[in-house]
Each structure stands twice: as structure tokens, then as C-alpha cells.
């Protein structure tokens, strides 16, 4: 009698383990799909170093979801895209945005970062 009880308990434990395994796989697959959907669209990566950005001009397409991110290579900086209410810094390094209005916008460091701070500017062209 005890052998049958242990056998049934063993089968139930195995079935429970398989259920947990497949649930975990399904959860990871959903997380990957959500991440892929979030990464769909364009990306605007701004790299800031001492008193300069990695580019003087950035270009994005209007109407497409865009992940705007700030990467700090050297120093501490904060960037603002004037006229678009986008501000990125060390605490908030990225933002999901859809640029609606084509045009040219000023991009500048808004955190005093040293002697070359005033020259730390670039342009963003939304096409």
C-alpha cells in the first residue's frame, strides 16, 4: 500500500515540476516578446563626454516610436532637447518618444560640466 502512495506522490511531484518549468519558459518568452516590441522602432543614442557629444547632428524620422538614450562616456552631463520637453540625465538616461513635428531642434548639455560646457551643443533633425 505504501508503495502505491509513494508512486502517486512521485507522479504528482513530477507533473507539478513540469508545470512550473513550462510556466517559467512561457513567462520568459512573453518577456522577450515584450522587449522586442519595445525595441521596435528607431533609436537615438546620444553619447556625452567632456564638453562634446559624439555627433554634432542627429537625425530621426517623424511619427515613429523612438527610444532616446543618453550615455555618459566621460564626466557628468544632462541633455535637453529644446522645444520637445525631453530631458535626460544620469538618473533618467532614456525615454520612449514619438516625434510628431518635423524640424530642427537644439540639443544641449544643461548641467554645468566644466570649462567647455557652453560649447556642448548639437542639432536634432526630425524628418
DSSP for residue 30 = H
Residues 49 and 108 in one domain: yes
Residues 64 and 110 in one domain: yes
68-110 per-position pLDDT tens digit: 999 999 888 999 999 888 999 999 999 999 999 899 999 999 9
Domain span at 82? 42-126
SS3 of residue 24 by DSSP = helix
Residues 20 and 73 in one domain: no
Q: Which residues pair with 47 in a beta bridge?
A: 71
Residues 15 and 48 in one domain: no
Decide if 46 contacts 88 (C-beta within 8 A).
Answer: yes
Of the pLDDT bands very low, low, confident and very high (cuts 50, 70, 90), residue 2 is confident
Residues 7 and 64 in one domain: no
Global pTM? 0.65
Q: For residue 23, what pLDDT is reported?
A: 67
**Based on the structure, what is the number of domains in the chain?**
2
**Which residue reads 547632428 in cell numbers?**
57
Instruction: Say which CATH number the domain at 60 has.
Output: 2.60.40.420
Amino acid at each position: 500500500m505504501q508503495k502505491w502512495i509513494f508512486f502517486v506522490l512521485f507522479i504528482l511531484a513530477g507533473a507539478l515540476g513540469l508545470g512550473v518549468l513550462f510556466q517559467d519558459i512561457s513567462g520568459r518568452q512573453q518577456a522577450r516578446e515584450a522587449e522586442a516590441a519595445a525595441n521596435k522602432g528607431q533609436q537615438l543614442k546620444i553619447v556625452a563626454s567632456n564638453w562634446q557629444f559624439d555627433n554634432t547632428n542627429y537625425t530621426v524620422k517623424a511619427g515613429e516610436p523612438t527610444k532616446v538614450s543618453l550615455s555618459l562616456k566621460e564626466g557628468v552631463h544632462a541633455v535637453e532637447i529644446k522645444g520637445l520637453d525631453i530631458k535626460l540625465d544620469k538618473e533618467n538616461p532614456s525615454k520612449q518618444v514619438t516625434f510628431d513635428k518635423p524640424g530642427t531642434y537644439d540639443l544641449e548639455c544643461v548641467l554645468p560640466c566644466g570649462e567647455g560646457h557652453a560649447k556642448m551643443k548639437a542639432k536634432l533633425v526630425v524628418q
